[in-house]
Every structure is written in structure tokens, then in C-alpha cells.
Amino acid sequence: MNGQQIAATEKKPFAKTRQFFSDLAKGSILTKISCVFMGAGQIGRKQFVKGAVYFILECLFFYYLISFGLGYLAKFGTLGTVAAPEGVWSDELGHFIYPKGDNSFLILLYSVVTLIIIAAFIILWVMNVRGNILNDKLVAEGKKVSTIKEDLYSFINEKFHITLLIPPLLGLLVFTIMPLIFMILIAFTNYDYSNLPPDKLFTWVGFENFKELFTGFGVSGGSGFGVTFLRVLGWTLVWAFFATFSNYFLGMIVALMINKKGIRFKKFFRTMFVIAIAVPQFVTLLLMQKILDVDGILNVILGTNIRWLADTRWNSLIPRIVIIVVNMWIGIPYTLLMCSGVLMNIPADLSEAARIDGANSVQIFFKITLPYMLHVTGPHLITQFVGNINNFNIIWLLTGGGPIDILKYSDQAQSTDLLVTWLYRLTTDNPVRYNIASVIGIIIFVISAGLSLITYNRSSAAKNEEDYQ
Amino acid sequence: MTNVNNNSQVAVKKHKKSNLGIKALDTAANTLIYVILSVMSVLWVLPICYLLYTAFRVTPNTGIINKLFPEDLQLGLGNFIRLFKDTMFLRWFGNTLFVATVSCLITTLFVLMVSYAMSRLRFKLRKPMMNVLLILGMFPGFMSMIAVYFILKALGLTNSLFALILVYSSGAALSYYICKGFFDTIPRSLDEAALLDGASKLRVFWSITVPMSKPIIIYTVLTSFISPWCDFIFVNTIINDRETYTVALGLYKMINAEKSSFNENFTVFCAGACVVGSIITALFISMQRYYVEGISSGAVKG
């Protein structure tokens, strides 16, 4: 790409905005009125329903803003200044009265909500003005403006994507995007056990939390936090590596064995493994936890006394290996299913042609079957790796992150904790530290997003969407 | 049979001697494979056998036993009777069934809608939107859980099953990827023909694409139906009323609420796990074919 092209692509949005405002300036009086009273232009051109909808939405927006939103948004910069005072005894009522102070948590939450609503309103406003400009054009050309029937029909035809996308995206906005923005903002505050609303206030601290995580010293004056973080991160990556590759290669080997020509009872063997998938994961994991207990059945059968999930020797090596082995028990059947599917899809003419050319089955395997499998399931490997970085269930249900090793870990981290389980514990167990948990969440995101975007952009799916037609 | 055929084909070009050698090697390899597969099958089935054994073990009814087959061993249906009589299992079961059914319907519909829009319709923000969805899916869900809890609280929905349905189905748009890959493979010429005949895009979606997507729909229904049966983390945060527990949380609490109850309730827990497990297993086995199609098509295009 040369300089000119870059300039052109960068210029584009501004050009559009300029066009929009010049159209607006040249627009009819109806268009100008509807900048203030949304829908007026539409009503003036007898699009009554459309105009009424715009106007009602505008009224609702301002009502919300004045009665509720602005009050919170005004305090967004400080997250509240008035801490809740002590309770006062009331003889009349016979109990303590707690005067209300500012609640930093609610201020932050409702500010985010209000900002999103304002953004939505701006989009609505632009749509309204655009509609009016379009009407101006139609009138100038002597054409009729669209009727309500035509408008509604367009939502199942030209504008069908809007109809299809709005309900799912609305759900996403409320339950994923809004909470995420909120939690990202938390990473820049001192929201922890010593500043819990509603009794206390928390406020912005900039990058202090990140600094604490990477240096070990920060707002709370804790030491060793950075070291703990590196230990947990290290184990998370080691775990993800072993968990992914052990499952992938062993699963593939099992799939190849079952699907080998001349092996009978294929269906029987496959079913044996598939049953393991069908049992809900939390059941198998809790069961494994019980089997591997010090008093559990495995030690009874072996006649040993090994603390499979709680031994802290050698950097908690035994629990760590056990976790990876249990994960193999859970994961291999998935790989097996996937690889069986892929094996059946290998174009038969490839191996036929090779056979006619005199290749034996070993050569066919190494020159055709294996490369094909690796090529097709390669992207899956990265997905699995990211999935394992975030594999909460297996750690939480097997060891709960334990065993505790206070010599090496601080701030509630334990020796088999992954970043996600540590994050979870920081938000649920006392002393809670939401700010640090958010920082960890952001780091997990950066790792997983980086890996996934690389794969996604390299995979053929992104580039050649239409190849499969 | 096929093996013999292949070898005889090769024999045309190769010496008979080496052919015999390959055959012997093949038999040896097969024997080894049978041994490995049998051992592995046993390893994979044993824990499940232990689950069944514990579920039917009426006495001793503790989690800890000092022998695999203790002297006072008694098998029977006692644990299942305790499960249905003494715990609220039936209620939890109903809750989960309700949540799973409704959320799987919504999820499937949402996934189909988003996938269709991304695969078939061309609009301005399509590519950026696909990237945003991909990125959003990578944030760990736990991170926003507390915020979700407070949003639900602001809506007055905590401790209700509707909250669970909302939470489970609201993320549907993020898992459009596999389904979109499937839609990409359906020939466009059909759509175009219908559009030329004056059908609206809604009709094309509903009467052409959806009926042709049976495997992927079944895959989506299956996975979204199963997930509420297995999740306990979100339920744990959103719901703290025993009446509105789901099966997973109920069973989890049964042995994890206090350390002491681990031992007492373990056999009952296993009975409950058997009930849930057998339902999911039945569903799974009956639809295994579609599941394989689903994950392997995801892999091919992923």
C-alpha cells in the first residue's frame, strides 16, 4: 500500500461527516426542525408512525438523562465524594438510620450505562436526520416518500441484516459489552477490600494496579505480588502447552488406531471413549477429586498413601501431573471424535492414486494422511490452547487451585492456580481485590486475543469465505 | 477383506516375499493395537463404573471406604430414593429442564440469525463486526460476572430462572463461527434463484437456508441444551435460593457446601450424577453423528 492510498482511506470518514453536515445545511426547513424535534420532518411528510416513534424515543431519552443518568454521570470523574456517614440511632423508629452517601460502584456502573445510551441516541439522531435528507431528495426529484408498509417490508429484505442482528447484539451489549467495559474500568481504580462500597468510596488510580502486578509494590504496599504473578502465569502456560499437545497427539493416535483398516469393533471402541464425553464434566471432575483423595479409592486399591492432589513437594509436581493426566481422560475423546470426522473426509482418490503408484500403507500414512490431518486441524490446536488457558472447571473442581504454598505464593494464589482461577478467587474470597482481578482479566485477554487473531487471520476461512461454494 | 484386496493389488507390482513380510507385520501391529485399545477402553470406563457402583452402594454410605468391596457392602436403590425424597433434586431437575429448553431455543435462533447475516448478507460493517465478535469471545466470562450480577440486580432479576436464561442465551452471537462456516458451504445459486422470483430475504432464510442446515442446527441445539446442565459457576453467583438451584449447582453444593457433607452425601451425589449423566449420554449418543459433523466442520473451517 502506498502513501496515497493510506491517506485516502484515512480521509474517508471525515469526508462522509462533512458531506452529512453540508447536506444538513442545505436541507429543507423540516429537516432542520427535526434536528431538535426528532420525527417532526417525517410527520410533516405524512410518515406519522415513523415520526411518532422517533419523537417518543427522544422524549424517553431526555427523561432518562435528566431524571437519572446525568446525576451519576456528573460524579464519573471522582466516583463520589461523600462517603456514607455512620449510622444514627433513631428513637422514633427503634433502629439505626443509615444516611446515604455516594456509592462509587453504582456511579461507575450507571455512568457506563448512561454513556452507552447516549451513544445509541446519537446513532438514532443521525438515522433520523439521514432519513430527512433522503426525503428532501425524493421530494426534490418529484418522487413519493416511502410508506410505512414499504418501510416495514425493507426490514425483511434490503435491511434484513438489521432485523437479524439487533436482538442478538442487544443481548451481547447488555450482558457482555457493558459488563466488560465496566470491569476494564475497574482495573484503573482502587476497588478492593479496603474500599468496599456502600460504606467506603473508591476512586481512579491510573496505572497503579498494573505497576503493582509487574513490580510487586503498589497501592496496597504488598510485596511479592509480581513474583506470584509470574509463577501463576508460568504454570498457566506450561499447563496449556502440555494439556493441548498431550490431548491432540494422543487423541490423534487413538483415532488412527481405531480407524486403521483391518481393525474390527470400531464402533464399540469409539463408544467406550464417547461415554466419557457424555458424562457432564463437573460430575467426572468431582468424582476424580474423590477417587484421588488421600482416603480415596485409588490409594485403597494401590495400598499407598500418596496425596495426589495436595502434595506440595517439588513445586507441587504431583498434583500438576495428575491434573494433566485427568485432563487427558477428559480431552482425548473430543480429539478422537474430531479426528475421526476428519479422517473420513480425506479424499479417497488421493490415497488410491498413491497406492496405484506403488506406495505402501506406511508411506501413505506419512505422506498423505498425517499432513492432511495436521493441515486441517491445525487452527483447532490454537483454539484449544486458548481454551486451556481459560480452563476454569478442571482446576477449580479438582484441586480448587490448591495446595496452598505460602512460601512461594502471596495474595491468595495457590500452587495449581491458573490465571482464571486466581482471578475468580480474588473476586469471591476475602480479602477481595476486584481491581487486581480486572488487571489479570485484561492480561488473559491480551494473551488469548493475540493468539487467536494470528490464527484467524492466517486460516483460509477468513480470506476465502466463498471458496466452499 | 479390504486389507487382503489391497495387498493383492500391491502384489502385482511387488515381490511376493516382501508382501508376506508386510502382511505379518500388519497382523502384529493389529494385535498390538487391539491390546492398547482394550487397555485404554478399560481405563476410560473404570471411573464411570465406580460412579455407578457408588450410586448403588447403600451401605456403607460414606465417601470413604477402606476396601473396594467392604464386608458390610449392600447394593440397592436406596440412594436414588434418598435423592428424590430427602433432597430437592426433582425441583432442581425441573428448573434445569426449563432453563435448558428455553435458552437452547433462543440460542439456536440467535446463532442462526447472526450466522446468516454474516454469511449471506453484505452490509457495511460486516467485517469489522465479525472481528469484534471474535475478540469479545476471548474475554474470560468470570471477569464480568460481578458486573452481570449487579446489572441483573438493577433489573430486579436475581434469584430467578429468567436471569439464567438471559445470561446463557445472551452470549449466543459469539458462537456464530461454526454455523457461519456451514452456511458458507451452501450454494448461493439457490438463494439467487429465489430472490429473482421475488422472494424476500426473510423467506430465503426461513424456507431455503434453515431447512438445509439440519446437522448444524442439531449441533447447536445439542450443545446449548447441555451447557445449563453442566454450568455451576454462573448459577452460583446469580442464585442463592435453594428453590431455584439447577441440578449442577445442587449436586455441587451437596458435597461441597461444608467439608463434612462430602462424606455423608457422596453416594447420593453419585446417584444424582447418574440420573443427569444418563440423560445427557442418551441425548449425546443419539445425536453423535451430528456432533461429529459439527466439530469437524468447525475444525476444517476454523
B208-246: string of b/e by CB count within 10 Å (b at 16+)?
A: bbeebbebbbbbbbbbbbbbbbbbbbbbbbbbeeeebbb
Q: Is domain B81-301 classified as CATH 1.10.3720.10?
A: yes
Highest mean pLDDT among A8-17, A295-304, A415-424: A415-424
Q: Nearest-CA residue of chain B relative to A274?
A: B285
In Å, what is the CA distance from A285 to each residue of A373, B168, B215, B252? 30, 22, 30, 11
| Cβ atoms of residues A438 and A179 within 8 Å | no
Whether the pLDDT of residue A227 is over 50: the answer is yes
Question: Could you give the count of Cα atoms lying within 13 Å of B19 in the half-sphere of its Cβ?
Answer: 15
A171 touches chain B (CB under 8 A): yes
Q: Environment class of residue B85 by beta-carbon count within 10 Å: exposed (0-12), middle (13-18) or buried (19+)?
A: exposed
Question: When comparing pLDDT for A126 and A158, which is higher?
Answer: A126
Percent of chain A with pLDDT over 90: 7
| Cell matching residue B99 | 432453563
Question: When comparing pLDDT for A469 and A178, which is higher?
Answer: A178
- Whether the pTM exceeds 0.90: the reply is no
Residue with cell 513445586: A315
Highest mean pLDDT among A186-195, A205-214, A240-249, A455-464: A240-249
Three-class SS state of A255: helix
Q: What is the signed CA dihedral for A305, A308, A311, A316, rounded to 10 degrees?
A: 150
Percent of chain A with pLDDT over 70: 88
How far apart, in whole angstroms, are the C-alpha atoms of residue A401 and residue A424?
Answer: 10
Per-residue pLDDT tens over the stretch B65-85? 767 777 777 777 778 887 888
Cβ <8 Å between A277 and B284: yes
Cβ <8 Å between B173 and A279: no
Per-residue pLDDT tens over the stretch A310-351? 777 787 788 888 899 999 998 888 888 888 777 777 777 777
A202 touches chain B (CB under 8 A): no
| One-letter amino acid for residue B9 of the chain | Q
| Cβ atoms of residues B163 and B157 within 8 Å | yes
Whether the pLDDT of residue A296 is over 80: the answer is no
Whether the pLDDT of residue B118 is over 60: the answer is yes
For chain B, give every residue range classified as CATH 1.10.3720.10: 81-301
Q: What is the DSSP letter of A101?
A: -
Interface test with A, best of B14, B114, B126, B144 (most A CBs within 10 A): B144
In Å, what is the CA distance from B135 to each residue of A180, A314, A418? 12, 38, 21
- How far away is chain A from the Cα of B107, in angstroms, using its nearest Cα? 9
Query: How confident is the model at residue A87, as a pLDDT?
Result: 65
Query: How confident is the model at residue B11, as a pLDDT?
Result: 45
How far apart, in whole angstroms, are the C-alpha atoms of residue B292 and residue A341?
Answer: 6
Q: Nearest-CA residue of chain B relative to A377?
A: B299
Helix axes B89-120, B259-286, angle to 10 degrees: 50
Per-residue pLDDT tens over the stretch A24-46? 888 788 888 888 888 888 888 88
Q: How many beta-carbon pairs below 8 A join chains A and B?
A: 285
Strand partners, A189: A204
pLDDT-based confidence at residue A84 (cuts at 50, 70, 90): low
- Please confirm whether the linkage preceding A431 is cis (ω < 30° from 0): yes
| Average per-residue pLDDT for chain A | 80
Nearest residue, CB atoms, A174 vs list B170, B230, B300? B170
Percent of chain B with pLDDT over 70: 83
Nearest residue, CB atoms, A341 vs list B110, B229, B295? B295
| One-letter amino acid for residue A404 of the chain | I
In the stretch 338-357 of chain A, residues with CB closer than 8 A to chain B read 338, 340-342, 345, 355
Per-residue pLDDT tens over the stretch B8-26? 454 444 455 556 676 777 7
CATH superfamily to which A225-463 belongs: MetI-like (1.10.3720.10)
pLDDT-based confidence at residue A86 (cuts at 50, 70, 90): low
Residue A424, number of CB atoms within 10 A of its CB? 24
A174 touches chain B (CB under 8 A): yes
| Cβ atoms of residues B41 and A269 within 8 Å | yes
pLDDT-based confidence at residue A4 (cuts at 50, 70, 90): very low
How far apart, in whole angstroms, are the C-alpha atoms of residue A144 and residue A137?
Answer: 10
Which chain B residues are Cβ-neighbours of A158 within 8 angstroms? 201
Query: How confident is the model at residue A265, as a pLDDT?
Result: 81
Q: Mean of the pLDDT values across residues A460-468?
A: 49
Nearest residue, CB atoms, A164 vs list B44, B114, B138? B114
- How far away is chain A from the Cα of B208, in angstroms, using its nearest Cα? 15
